[in-house]
Structure 1
Amino acid sequence: MTTEPQDDWRQRLRGQGYRLTPQRELILAAVDALGHATPDEVHAEVRKSSSAVNVSTVYRTLEVLQELGLVRHTHLSDRAPTYHSVSDHEHFHLVCRNCGKVTSVDADVARGLVERLTADLGFVPDIGHLALHGHCADCG
């Protein structure tokens, strides 16, 4: 019998000494459902199911989930960080400055850049945290 990904994150949470709470489950489910979301957007999604979760709980829980490697964040705007689940493929983001469209791009696209930074500078970038800002094809 194989372990479901949902069970895996539950085991990771318990293995690090954290309790599995309904709020944590709701918050992780909201991140999964929204794809890319700020803490306030996660809070709004969670409140659809439970009014008992306040915004400070969302912020603290997102930090815990990130420490455990269950979510990542990047900065898609000057606003709060945007979180996404790691259950999706590793990717970086293209953000259109004009229309705000966010495109997820497979990490392999940046392989040449990563190899060059590592070889030339000894620097290993965190691609999942990367957001490149510019203009999409529609906005030119």
Structure 2
Amino acid sequence: MSATALAAMLRERGLRLTPQRQLILEAVHELGHATPEQVHHHVRERAAGVNITTVYRTLELLEELGLVNHTHLSHGSPTYHTAGEDQHVHLVCRGCGSISEVDPSVMEPVTDRLLSERDFRVDVGHVSLFGVCGDCKE
């Protein structure tokens, strides 16, 4: 998203585009999947004065605006990624910590069954499966 489009979106909500907000959105985009702490570290390389509280608040705002999404890939902080990407299921290796993505269609048997048996619609964009990757299985 361009700075101009982001500025317009923020203005509609009575907010302004600050350099910190722009840097945090850029960091999420550049890092792919990142915790607030990782975003903070990335942003501080460019602007030392940005604190972790600003990162958390900005990520919440950016999610409200539909610009980023989060998922939980561990017991710690949520992981953020750019919204608008194709929905995907996260595969998290407990061995090496790698994160890969698969098409949400792999979940169709489960999501279809939950819909038919429980009238429950799964938000596949927040699904994370934990296991061991092929490199770590030995």
Q: Deviations over 1:13-58 (max 9, x none)?
A: 3323322111111000000000011111101100111112111100
Percent of pairs identical after alignment?
51
- Aligned residues of 2:6 and 2:17 also touching (Cα < 8 A): no
SS in 1 for 2:101: strand
Specify which of 72, 77, 96 is matched with residue 74 of structure 2.
77
> Is 1:63 matched with 2:60?
yes
Q: CA deviation at 1:8?
A: 4.3
Q: CA deviation at 1:93?
A: 0.4
Q: TM-score, normalised by structure 1?
A: 0.87
Q: CA deviation at 1:111?
A: 2.8
Q: Structure 2 counterpart of 1:40, which letter?
A: E
Where does residue 131 of structure 1 map in the other structure?
A: 128
Q: Structure 2 counterpart of 1:23, which letter?
A: Q
Where does residue 13 of structure 2 map in the other structure?
A: 16
Alpha-carbon spacing, 1:18–1:111, altered in 2? closer, same or farther (3 Å): farther
Provide the alpha-carbon RMSD of the alignment: 1.6
Distance 1:74 1:114 in 2: 18
Q: TM-score, normalised by structure 2?
A: 0.89
Q: Give 1:5-44 correspondences, 5 Å limit.
A: 5-6=1-2, 7-44=4-41
Q: Deviations over 1:82-113 (max 9, x none)?
A: 11111322112011111111111222332332
- Aligned pair count reads 136
